[in-house]
Amino acid sequence: MANDVRTVDRKPTGPTPVKDEKRTGLGDYLLFALTLVLPPRYTPERVRYDRRYRTLDKYRFISWFLLVPLIIYAILVISPFFQAFYYSLTDWSGFSSDFNMVGLDNYSRMLEDDDFWASIRNSLLLLVVAPVITLGLGLFFAFMLQAGGRRKKSDAISGVTGAKFYKVVYFFPQVLSVAIIGVVWGAMFDPITGPINELLRTFGLGSLTQSWLANPDIAMFCVLFVMCWMFVGFYVVLFSAAMGSVPKDIYEAALLDGASRPTTFFRVTLPLIWDTVQTGWIYMGIQALDGFAVVHIMTINAGGPGNSTLVTPVYLYKKAFDVGQAGYATAVGVVLLIITMIFSGIMMLLSRRERIEF
């Protein structure tokens, strides 16, 4: 069977299996653990003469050096996660130190909470659509900046004229704080004095003017647009850097074979920067799942009209701070965390490909 071949294949490369070792008891493990925290000179005899001592010594060496950062990491990053789980099981109001355990009540309440489901739907929509658009545009622009220009004699590929300038311009929104972006775009969408409607009127397209954020059918697209606008520059720069590291001779070879630009892009560029795209995808997905500031600052009633732009982080915020249900809000946060982790997991699985070395 094919499987057998593989096992045979793998054997020599894998770690040597410990076979004839006598079984290690619990006491031994405790002793090993103890050794890890003791200074080397107090290493118990039994451990010192164990054949695994070398490995243990190595890890002891590393972990002692990492101790301080590890403790800081545990306090500031890991423990809040566990606290969140704990608080999600309480009816904590967020205003005092008294609360009761309520078990999984918060979670079962969530199942019947229409607003919560509306927020999940909106967040998932953003999660799927925002990365597709942003990364797509980012790739397109980056490719244009890198290889979209007229061919010069000296170079196999070159960007469009003024590529460096565009790169700076694209990156501009990234420099602004999210809050400012929310305020600025809120003013852009202003139905009476906003530049967008103004522009439409100037070109005689007055019939297309909209009360952008007040129309439940359009509001979500406005949010989507702003999110893509603010993040696309970052991905242009990211992908440009990745494309820049692809050796020019590969392009040259493709050109000699008569490949057109689209072919070059799909057959050469994209496969070679796939790792970066994958990272970008996860990163953008997480940003799309957040979307707090834009929605909270820009939209009507922070998430409206109705629930049409309500995203989960905004809903969480409202529950925690507007109505003093911090326990319930924490449960919503835990669900959001789980969704984010599932998303990352799926993306890692889907985009697992063989890495191309170059």
Partner 1 sequence: MGNTSDVNRRDVMKRAAALGLVAVPGMTALSSCASGGDDGNENKVEKGKKTKDNPLAVNKKAGLEVVIFNGGYGDQYAKDAEKIYAESYGKVKHAKTQKIRTKMQPRMVKGSPPDVINNSGAENMDIASLIDDKQVTDLGPLLDAPSLFDPSKTVRETLRPGTVEKGQFGSEKVYQLNYSYTVYGLWYSKSALEKLDVEYPKTWDEMLDVCAKAKKQGIEAWTYAGKHPYYLAFTMFAFIGKIGGADRLKAIDNLEPDAWEHDAVKQAFEAYAELQKKGYILKGSSGLDHIQSQTQWTKGNALFIPNGSWVENEAKQTTPDDFEMTVAPNPSLDSSDKMPFETVWAEASEPFMVPAKAKNVEGGLEFLRIMMGKESTKNFTELVSALTCVDGAADGLDLGPGLGSAKKVVEAAGDNILSPRHKDWYLQLHNEKVGGALASLMSGDIGPSEAMKRCQKATDEVRKDDAIKKYKR
Q: Give contact residues for partner 1 (rule: CB under 8 A).
A: 54, 58-59, 61-63, 66, 70-71, 73-75, 78-79, 82-83, 87, 91-99, 109, 114, 186, 189-193, 197, 211-216, 300-301, 303-306, 318, 321-325, 328
Contact yes or no for 229/173 (Cβ under 8 A)? yes
* CB 13, min distance to partner 1, A: 12
Judged by beta carbon, residue 109 or residue 261, the one nearer partner 1 is 109
* CB 319, min distance to partner 1, A: 9
Judged by beta carbon, residue 149 or residue 324, the one nearer partner 1 is 324
* CB 350, min distance to partner 1, A: 20
Judged by beta carbon, residue 3 or residue 193, the one nearer partner 1 is 193
Contact yes or no for 314/295 (Cβ under 8 A)? yes
* CB 331, min distance to partner 1, A: 11
* CB 311, min distance to partner 1, A: 15
Judged by beta carbon, residue 81 or residue 165, the one nearer partner 1 is 81
Judged by beta carbon, residue 130 or residue 326, the one nearer partner 1 is 326
CA–CA gap between residue 253 and residue 156 (Å, rounded): 9
* CB 98, min distance to partner 1, A: 6
Of 163, 185, 291, 290, which Cα lies nearest the Cα of 237? 163
Judged by beta carbon, residue 94 or residue 149, the one nearer partner 1 is 94
CA–CA gap between residue 134 and residue 102 (Å, rounded): 42
Judged by beta carbon, residue 277 or residue 314, the one nearer partner 1 is 314
Judged by beta carbon, residue 149 or residue 216, the one nearer partner 1 is 216
Judged by beta carbon, residue 161 or residue 301, the one nearer partner 1 is 301
Number of C-alpha atoms within 13 angstroms, CB side, residue 93?
6
* CB 35, min distance to partner 1, A: 15
Judged by beta carbon, residue 158 or residue 215, the one nearer partner 1 is 215
* CB 189, min distance to partner 1, A: 7
Kindly report the CA angle at 99 between 95 and 102, in degrees rounded to 5?
130
* CB 321, min distance to partner 1, A: 6
- Which residues lie closer than 8 Å to 232 by C-beta, 6 or more apart? 134, 137, 138, 141, 170, 173
CA–CA gap between residue 307 and residue 294 (Å, rounded): 15
* CB 136, min distance to partner 1, A: 29
